[in-house]
Structure 1
Amino acid sequence: MSAGFVDFHRIDWSTAWFSPFAERGKRWQRVALEHPDDYLGELRRDARASAQTTGRGAPLTFIAQAELPAGTAYEAHIAATGGVPTRENLHDFFNALVWFSYPRVKAVLNARQARAIARDGIGGARGAERDALTLFDENAVVFVACDPALSRALVEFDWRRLFVTERAAWGRRCLVRPFGHALLEKLINPYKACTGHAWIVEAPPEFFDWSATRQTTWLDETVAATLAAAPLTSRLFAPLPVLGIPGWWPANRDSAFYDDERVFRRGRRVGAAELRTPLR
């Protein structure tokens, strides 16, 4: 068995961050551990059944990392051929799972990356746009709220309001969905300072009464539409220590959990003109 597949034993599907991916993820995990030679085949079968596409409309599939031609940019290859180079490790496992959960968002990210590479090449610095796209792809969480005051608390680092005073709002007026596959990989070994980059989405109040499947579909469509057109910089994200999210970590039931300013740092207050919510 691949050394990378051994790590698949460590996934705890009961956690708040892995549970949204559990239905498909458990099956892939079982194949990786019991029939590792068929792992890529399992991903490919799911891709064919889904009829999903990548950034330029090529049918989604998964290829071994060794099949990526030397000197070819990863994102450009995916856009041109549909083939996502995939290693036998947790990082690429979570990346593939996100392709199936948020196919429109992943396709838009891929399309924009491919366009930026075609325009600027792959040498030297990536630039602000590609940095923001990579940040979203690797480390984003989607913060969904129907109450602008909660979004403001996040942007202003008002952790007491967001996590203590407004604790009852979680699941009713705000929630977080994990997205970045590097962040998911880090959460195999959770630590207090683990921080995601929150992309803020305004949702209608009824969003919180929908099924999880309907919520995911709405987020995939809505975030993809915004990402397709929005100028992107890292300033559009708000840092969010994810183990502070109510329901994500048992220790945060004690409000003293948030007293650690090494993690829950103080931030400057922002004016109304600076508070950015990418969706309205």
Structure 2
Amino acid sequence: MKPRAPAAADPAAPRAFSATEHPLVRTWLDPDASLPGLDELEARRLRAQDGDGVARPAFRAQTRSLLDDGLHYETRVAAQSVLATREHDAHDAFNALVWLRHPELKWALNARQAADVARVGSRQRTRGQCALTHFDEAGAIVWLASSRRLAAWDAHDWTALFVDASAAWGDELAVTVFGHALAEHVWNGHAWPVAKCIVVEVRRDALRGRADDAAIVARWASAERVLATAIRAGDLLADPQELRPLPLAGIRGWHAEGLAARVLAQAPCFRPLRPGRRYPAPWRLG
């Protein structure tokens, strides 16, 4: 599958990347690679399970006969370990790739979603389900090894967080992008992805060396396993208000060199703090 042509250039936009050159997509696909189809995804699933011993749901074509079982999407995953997947669809392909890389987190989200569907039915949504869906579609984990930059983020002081603290990204802060819709948007040429983040306080020595040059930690399996346990227990993602917005284009390596102050003022993703909005303290790992 080839990416769609990007929208007309915004004068304030970061340097344009082709879909497969973008630092986010580079964490998922080899250079110049197309999105994998169902057969390739299924082969990767089997290899991943053999490699780490963690099950993933089988990727099956989303056909009418599959959907005729009448099951809710999340219930089917939980009860049958089958993931309805549309062939040649970027959204579903990236969802499958996230399952391959982050199975413990995905299973934790699914367990909570399926439990709430069983409890309230498929026509209602709990606050927890909203939080889980926001994270599933647009989520990221920000690994925080120093609280020095937290006040700037709390205040949406984007200049302090992204320009003044540019060198801190990858050292004091790093990000694991989890939401498959974020990857889909970047693949389709959108320059301003905004993640909904869980912030996790970690030791600096534990973070050191994990991030690439765009401050991305592709996977941190042992830490993610702890977060998955907390999600299953309802200690994380009980309410959408737990999630902090982060305009990912501000991070060093996601934009042209020397992010200008006018970009932070003009680009729609760098929004001011909403009056009265307060964010929870970071979640401490271990």
Normalising to structure 1: TM-score of the pair? 0.81
Amino acid at match of 1:276: A
**Structure 2 residue ranges without an equivalent (≥5):** 7-17, 212-216
The answer to whether the 8 A contact 2:198-2:242 is kept is yes
Task: Name 2:91's counterpart in structure 1.
Answer: 91
What do the CA deviations read for 1:99-141 (whole angstroms, capped 9, x no partner)? 1111110110111111111111101x31201111111100112
Contact 1:192 1:263 in 2 (8 A): no
CA contact (8 A) 1:226 1:278 kept: no
Q: Once the two structures are superposed, what CA deviation does each residue of 1:141-166 show, in whole Å capped at 9, x if it has no partner?
A: 21111112323322321212111221
Which amino acid counterpart does residue 230 of structure 2 have in structure 1?
T
The alpha carbon displacement at 1:19 in A equals 1.6
Correspondence list, 1:31-70, <5 A = 32=36, 39-51=37-49, 60-66=57-63, 67-70=66-69
| Greater mean deviation of Cα atoms: 64-73 or 132-141 | 64-73
2:202 aligns to what? 203
2:25 counterpart letter in structure 1: F
**Aligned-residue offset at 1:228:** 2.0
Equivalent runs, 1:113-132 vs 2, <5 Å = 113-123=113-123, 125-132=124-131
d(CA) in 2 for partners of 1:274, 1:41: 42
- 1:248 and 2:247 correspond: no
With CA pairs under 8 Å and 6+ residues apart, which has the higher RCO, 1 or 2? 2
Q: Distance in 2 between matches of 1:249 and 1:139?
A: 19
Q: Distance in 1 between matches of 2:246 and 2:38?
A: 33
What's the offset of the Cα at 1:242?
1.6
Distance 1:172 1:105, change over 3 A: same
C-alpha displacement of 1:58 = 6.9
Equivalent positions of 1:131-170 (< 5 A) are 131-170=130-169
In structure 2, distance between residues paired with 1:206 and 1:26: 34
**Residues 63 and 157 of structure 1, relative CA distance in 2, 3 Å threshold:** same
In the alignment, does 2:102 pair up with 1:102? Answer: yes
Match of 2:10 in 1: none
Report the alpha carbon displacement of residue 63 of structure 1 after superposing the two structures with TM.
0.6
- Maintained 8 Å contact 1:156/1:270: no
Kindly provide the amino acid, as one letter, of the partner of residue 223 in structure 1. L
Match of 1:235 in 2: 241
Where in structure 2 are the equivalents of 1:186-225 lying within 5 Å? Answer: 186-191=185-190, 193-211=192-210, 216-225=220-229
The TM-score, its normalising length taken from structure 2, stands at 0.80
Identify the residue that residue 36 of structure 1 maps to in structure 2. none
Mind listing any 5+ residue stretches in structure 1 that lack a counterpart?
33-38
CA contact (8 A) 2:140 2:177 kept: yes
From the two aligned structures, give the one with the greater helix fraction.
1
Q: Deviations over 1:50-105 (max 9, x none)?
A: 338xxxx9752111111233531001101111111100200001001101111110
One-letter amino acid matched to 1:62: F
Q: Sequence identity, in percent? A: 29
Give the corresponding residue for 2:9.
none
Equivalenced residue count is 261
Instruction: State the SS of the aligned residue for 1:78.
Output: helix
- Contact 1:172-1:208 at 8 Å conserved across structures: yes
Q: Deviation at 1:184? A: 1.1
Instruction: Give the distance between the partners of 1:268 and 1:202, measured in 2 at CA.
Output: 24
The answer on whether the counterparts of 1:157 and 1:265 sit within 8 Å (CA) in structure 2 is yes
Residues 194-213 of structure 1: per-residue CA shift (max 9 Å, x gap): 32212111111013324468
Cα deviations by residue, 1:254-278 (Å, 9 ceiling, x for unpaired): 233212274322216889x953213
Superposed CA offset, 1:17-54 (max 9, x none): 1122125x977x37x5xxxxxx32222222223338xx
C-alpha distance in 2, partners of 1:256/1:51?
47
Q: Is contact 2:244–2:279 with CA below 8 Å preserved after alignment?
A: no
Matched-pair contact (CA < 8 Å) for 1:58–1:79 = no
In structure 2, give the amino acid aligned to 1:43.
L
Q: SS of the residue aligned with 2:114?
A: helix
Amino acid corresponding to residue 116 of structure 1 in structure 2: D
1: CA distance, partners of 2:271 / 2:151: 15
